[in-house]
Amino acid sequence: MILTRKQYILLLITLFIMVCFLVLKNPSTVTAQSTTSTTQPSLAPVVITPSTPQKQYEYLEITEGCDTYAEMVCVSVHAGPGVEYEKIYELRKGMLLKIKSTEVRNGQVWYHVYFDEWLRFPGRVEGDWYIPAIAGRVITAEGAQVLTLSTPSTSKRIVIDLSDHMLYAYEGNIEFMRTKISTGVEATPTPAGTFTVYKKTPSRYMQGPLVGATEIPFDLPGVPWNLYFTQDGAVMHGAYWHDRYGTEQSSGCINLPPELSKIIYDWAPLGTTVTIQR
């Protein structure tokens, strides 16, 4: 069929009216098309996967019993969950021990603590350790943390002055803490230089003698709040066995009062710069 000019114009008008009717009925179609035509192609959504939280562990902080020099009545470690079991160790305030399990015997709560770390002299630790709940309080903390390539950088830094046995902690140029510390004796000096906190662990069992450092045997379970800064074993930690801060006392480590070691441990992330100078 051949359309006349008049019929062709009427057909175009009819088609135009139909298109307008459809647009008015569903305006979102044009809006979406218009938006698409004037913007950049949309990118695939970025899915942010939350980091896996570090596992939390329970630790027993010893708050009752012997003071630094054992001048008070000590709380004993027993070989089993009860006072009828053999006494195998005397606790000092400030120790921090990892809890394996909790047991109740004759209405009294006992904590089974354990040492899940490498021990220089494992034969010195015989059997299980059980501690009555009255000895301290339970706290929760992450286990060992180690520096990795993905660890965020930090502006926090710690400066150790060996001349006056002082610790200074800064975030940027703002001072966070200053306190007296103990450093290495002449035979085992604290190393000078610039280091990085590469490992953190809430509790550590320290044992000696140390080859090339000291021939004196020692056993220090539950050393609290450890910041490792050299691969040779220099650590910043709490010391519950003395209070002679401001003097040379250690085998190269940096000793703080246990309560202050907890503060600096929580404040200083992995990657914190440690500068040791005279």
Tell me the whole-structure pTM to 2 decimals: 0.80
Q: Domain residues of the chain, as ranges?
A: 56-142, 145-277
Across 54-155, the runs of DSSP E, i.e. the strands, are 56-62, 76-78, 87-90, 96-105, 108-113, 129-132, 136-142, 145-146
The more confident residue out of 100 and 47 is 100
Helix (H, G, I), strand (E, B) or coil at 46: coil
The answer, yes or no, to whether residue 46 has pLDDT greater than 60, is no
Instruction: Name the CATH superfamily for 145-277.
Output: L,D-transpeptidase catalytic domain-like (2.40.440.10)
**8 Å CB contact between 37 and 30:** no
Distances from the Cα of 202 to the Cαs of 64, 81, 95, 151, in angstroms? Answer: 19, 24, 11, 19
Give the best-scoring range by mean pLDDT among 1-5, 41-45, 116-120.
Answer: 116-120
Taking each helix axis as running N to C, give the angle between helix 5-25 and helix 27-38, from 0 to 180 degrees, rounded to the nearest 10.
Answer: 90
**8 Å CB contact between 265 and 200:** yes
pLDDT digits (tens, 9 = 90+) for 245-254: 999 999 899 9
* CA 200/CA 266 separation, integer angstroms: 10
* CA 100/CA 83 separation, integer angstroms: 19
Assigned CATH for 56-142: 2.30.30.40
Instruction: Give me 152's structure tokens.
Output: 């965020």
